[in-house]
Structure 1
Amino acid sequence: MLKFLPGILLLQAITVALVLLAPADLTAWGWLRLFIPVLIVGLLTAFWFNASAAHHSKDAISNLKESHAREREALRINAERAKAKVMKEAHQETMQEVRRTSTQANIKVGMAFAGAAGIGGLLLLTQFMTLGLLMLTTAGGALGGYVVRIRQEKAKANVLTSTSPNKPRLINASPPAK
């Protein structure tokens, strides 16, 4: 509101000056000679106030748009952070469940192989040599295959999670020169 105060004071000063400069005896055309300059000054002041108010409203709208843009960007960043956090937690929970399940399966398989080896050892002690040796070699071979498969899966998982990108090789392309 203080923006309009100088314009109001200027309009009043011009109006007072015109009234003081007007002749003492105003006839029909005398009032018109006083009224037209006051009307022109009043219209110019009104246009000045209108331009000032429009500029003020544009500034307010611009500030509001900038504020909303900052708020929208902050919300977007917070949403991305929350999404990344949820994804990380879900991945950790999944990996923990996979490890737990794998450990339980390994214990069960290990107990089965130990039981088979124990039965093979018992057969050897009870003089069933061929059947005992067959049971022990079968249990040992199965255990070896199981261990090899676990190592292959771990190696495959390590390759998939490694950070070094592998360049694709074309089929029938010569190997890269060293």
Structure 2
Amino acid sequence: MLKFLPGILLLQAVTVALVLMAPTDLENWGWLRLLIPVVIVGVLTAFWLGAAVAHKHKDDISRLQECHAKERESLRVNAERAKTRVMKQAHQETMQEVRRTSTEANIKVGMAFAGAAGIGGLLLLTQFITLGLLMLTTAGGALGGYVMRIRQEKAKANNLPTPSAPSSKPRLINASPPAK
């Protein structure tokens, strides 16, 4: 508002000065001598005030754009942080569930192997030696395979080289190596 006050006061001062300097007898076309300078000063003042308003409007728009850009960036950063936090929390919950399930499975498998070994020991004690040895070796082999699979999974999870498993193709002792 204070930006427009000098223009308004200047327009009023010029208008008052022109009216005071005007002749008292404004007959026929004499009023044009008063009206033309007042209109010219009025138009120039209107352009001046219009330029001031346009400049103020442009400043307001740039200030709003800057404020909106800061707010948008703030929202973007907060959204990225929230996304990261949610992903991290989901990963932790998944890993916790995997560990819990794995632990439960290991307990069940361990109990099954212990039961098979117990039955094999009982068979040995009750004079069923062949059947008892067969049960014990089966339980031991299954337990060994299970332990090897667990080691391979842990090595794969840690990106370590996995323990080598025997190749699926049998090799003859006296055979030449395969041609490439």
TM-score (norm 1): 0.83
1:75 is matched with which residue? 75
Percent identical among aligned pairs is 82
1:176 is matched with which residue? none
Q: Which has the higher helix share?
A: 1
1:134 is matched with which residue? 134
- 1:70-124 per-residue CA deviation (whole Å, 9 max, x = no partner) reads 2222222222221221111111111111111111110010001001111111122
- Distance, in Å, in 1 between the alignment partners of 2:132 and 2:29 is 138
RMSD: 1.6
1:52 is matched with which residue? 52
- Corresponding position: 1:145 with 2:129: no
Of stretches 70-79 and 102-111 in structure 1, the one that deviates more from structure 2 is: 70-79
- Distance, in Å, in 2 between the alignment partners of 1:24 and 1:119 is 134
Correspondences of 1:9-88 after superposition (within 5 Å)? 9-88=9-88
Counterpart residue identity of residue 113, structure 1: F
How far 1:28 moved relative to its partner? 2.8
- Distance, in Å, in 2 between the alignment partners of 1:28 and 1:53 is 39
- 1:117-152 per-residue CA deviation (whole Å, 9 max, x = no partner) reads 111111222222222222111111110110000010
How far 1:17 moved relative to its partner? 2.2
Counterpart residue identity of residue 146, structure 1: Y
User: Could you say what secondary structure the match of 2:155 adopts?
Assistant: helix
2:169 is matched with which residue? none
TM-score (norm 2): 0.82
- Distance, in Å, in 1 between the alignment partners of 2:30 and 2:105 is 112
Q: Name stretches of at least 5 consecutive residues in structure 1 with no aligned partner.
A: 161-178
User: Could you say what secondary structure the match of 2:23 adopts?
Assistant: coil
- Distance, in Å, in 2 between the alignment partners of 1:26 and 1:115 is 127
1:6 is matched with which residue? 6
Counterpart residue identity of residue 84, structure 1: T
- Distance, in Å, in 2 between the alignment partners of 1:144 and 1:133 is 16
Aligned residues: 160
- Distance, in Å, in 1 between the alignment partners of 2:118 and 2:61 is 84
How far 1:24 moved relative to its partner? 4.1
How far 1:65 moved relative to its partner? 1.9
User: Could you say what secondary structure the match of 1:159 adopts?
Assistant: coil
- 1:25-75 per-residue CA deviation (whole Å, 9 max, x = no partner) reads 433333211211111001100111111112211221222222222222222
- Distance, in Å, in 2 between the alignment partners of 1:79 and 1:29 is 73
Q: Name stretches of at least 5 consecutive residues in structure 2 with no aligned partner.
A: 161-180
2:118 is matched with which residue? 118
